[in-house]
């Protein structure tokens, strides 16, 4: 883990998130889609600068995330 807790969200990173979001929309329903949507949601809130639970030291409770 990097020592810095700052994430630089460049235009390329934002574009990548949009592309992933579009790809997930075309996925069939199921647990993989739910996990992918959870990961995208988590990244989206992080990119907006919202604080992470426990300062990012653990996964947020009740939300699916990639393991």
Could you report the average pLDDT of every consecutive run of 10 residues in the chain (67 residues)?
Answer: 68 92 94 92 85 59 51
pLDDT for the residue numbered 15:
93
Please report where in the chains the tokens 């988590």 appear, as a residue: 42
Q: How many whole angstroms separate alpha carbon 30 and alpha carbon 16?
A: 23
Q: How many whole angstroms separate alpha carbon 17 and alpha carbon 19?
A: 5
pLDDT for the residue numbered 67:
43
The DSSP secondary-structure symbol of 55 reads G
Asked whether residue 61 is domain-assigned, the answer is: no
Number of compact structural domains in the chain: 1
- pTM higher than 0.85 for the full model? no
pLDDT for the residue numbered 64:
53
pLDDT for the residue numbered 4:
59
Domain range spanning residue 16? 10-24+31-48
Asked whether residue 44 is domain-assigned, the answer is: yes
């Amino acid at each position: 883990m990097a020592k810095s807790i700052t994430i630089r969200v460049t235009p390329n990173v934002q574009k990548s998130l949009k592309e992933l979001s579009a790809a997930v929309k075309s996925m069939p329903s199921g647990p993989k889609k739910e996990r992918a949507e959870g990961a995208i949601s988590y990244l989206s809130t992080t990119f907006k600068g919202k604080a992470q639970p426990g300062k990012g030291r653990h996964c947020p409770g009740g939300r699916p995330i990639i393991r």
